Structure 1
C-alpha cells in the first residue's frame, strides 16, 4: 500500500525495493573490494543477475560505481567516496585503520588485517613496514597460511574438495590432518602457520567478528619462525585483545 508520505516523495510500487537492492549492491562492492564482478555482487546482495546488470549500469552512469580498467569488474565511484568521506568526518569513533595502527605501535612484528567477505581472502589493511612476500599465494592456498586456516575453520564447506597444494616441506597436504587442525582452531580460537606457505615465515591469526558474532575476517601477526609461536602467550593475548577491539569495524 502506498502511503501519503510515499506519494509526496514519488515512491510507490517497486521503487523502495529497487532502492534497497541498489544500496545492497553498493555495500557488496565496498565489502568485496575493487574488481568485484557482476556475478559476485549479485550473489552478495541477493539480487537476480539480470537485475544486477541493469542496476550496475545505472550506478556507473550516476557515478556511484566505476568499471575497473580491464572492464572485468567494478569499484566504488566518486559520488560514493564523497559520501563515505563525509560520514567519516562526522564520526568520532575510531576507524579500523586507526585501531590497527594503534595496535602496531605496541608490537615489533608485522600486523595485517584480511576480510573474508564474499568467500574471498582479501587484505584490507597491510602493515606498511612489513611486506607480505608472495601475497598472491595466500588467497589461492588457504590451507597453507594462518589467515586461510581461520577462514576455512569458520566456513567448513570451503574445505570440501579443496586442492591441497604442497608449497614447502611443511605444508599440510593431507585432508584428514587439515580437518583435525581446523577443528582445533575452532576450539582454541587461533591458527598457526609454520613456514607452510613460504620458508622463513611464520604467523599467528585470530578471527575478527561483526556485532552479530559472525567471523568476517582475521587479524594476523607475522614474523620469523624463531620468534612467532603459539607457545608465546603474550602474542596470543595481544592478538585476542586486538580482535576484540576490531569487532564490528570490518
Structure 2
C-alpha cells in the first residue's frame, strides 16, 4: 500500500484486519449472549486469546461492550445497542421474534427457538405461555432432549466426552443406540424426545440454518407425549416450514 493511499484511507497494513476481528468479537457476544467469557468469544471469533483480551478491553472502554456485574464475562454495550436500534428502524423485513410469534398463532403447542452458537445450547426465543425444562438442564444433557439431539447430530465434535446421564426411565444412555439415533436425525431432518428429559413431556425439533446452509440452531415443538409425535406429518410439516422461514434470522 502506498503512502498516498494510507493518507487517504487512514488505514495502515494491519488496521483493516484489526477492525474485522473487533467486529467478529461483537458478533460473537451477540450470538453467545450476556456473560460470554473471553475464552468463548476468542474461540467463536477465531482470534488468539491474547489479542482477544486486548480488543475486549478496548471495546469495553469505547462502550461497545460491558462487563457483566460479576466480571465473569461480557455483554453488548450502549453504543452497540444504539447501532442495533438504528438498523432496526431502517429494516422492514420480519425479525426472528416476529416470525416465531406468527408461527405460534398457528399451533396450540409450545414453540421455542435455540441457538447453537459457540457449541452451547441457548434459548433465544422461549414461548412465554408454555413451561420448558430449565436451559441449564437441557444444555448439560444434550442427549436427553430434542434440541440437544439436533445439535449433536449436526455438530459431531460435541459428542466427544459427553456424559450420558439418566434423567428418566426413557433416557437413552447407550452410546451405540444414541449414535444410531443421531445418524437417523441427519437423514430424517428432525429429532424426537419422548419423556427422556422429563416425564410427561415430549418434543420434536428441526434444525435452523444460516444462509450458508450451516446448522446454527433449532426450532422445537413441545407438548404431552399423547399429542406430540414424529408420525404426525402435520406437526413435521409445520416445523419444516417454520425452519425455512427462520433461515438466516438466527
- TM above 0.5, yes or no, is yes
Report if the CA contact (8 A) 2:152-2:159 is conserved.
yes
Q: CA deviation at 1:184?
A: 0.5
What is the RMSD computed on CA atoms of the aligned residues?
A: 1.0
Distance 1:41 1:137 in 2: 23
Which residue of structure 2 lines up, in the alignment, with residue 10 of structure 1? 10
**In 1: Cα distance, 2:154 partner to 2:44 partner:** 18
Rounded Cα–Cα distance in structure 1 between residues aligned with 2:118 and 2:188: 25
Q: Look up the match of 1:200.
A: 200
| Paired position in structure 2 for 1:135 | 135
Task: Judge conservation of contact 1:2–1:12 (CA < 8 Å) in 2.
Answer: no
Partner in structure 1 of residue 219 of structure 2: 219
Shift of 1:242: 0.2
- How does the TM-score come out when normalised to structure 1? 0.98
CA drift of 1:18 comes to: 1.1
Q: How far apart, CA to CA, are the structure 2 residues paired with 1:123 and 1:216? A: 12
- Alpha-carbon distance between aligned partners in 2 of 1:243 and 1:19, rounded to the nearest angstrom: 33
TM-score for both structures, normalised by structure 2: 0.98
In structure 1, the partner of 2:102 is 102
- Alpha-carbon distance change, 3 to 185 in structure 1, aligned in 2, over 3 angstroms: farther
Which residue in the other structure is 2:50 paired with? 50
The residue that corresponds to 1:236 in the other structure is 236
Long gaps (5+) in structure 2: none
| Alpha carbons 1:150, 1:191 under 8 Å: kept | yes
Distance in 2, Cα, partners of 1:144 & 1:114: 15
Aligned to 1:24: 24
2:63 is matched with 63
Q: Does 1:147 align with 2:147?
A: yes
Deviation at 1:159, TM superposition (A): 1.4
8 Å CA contact 2:122–2:135 kept in 1: the answer is: no
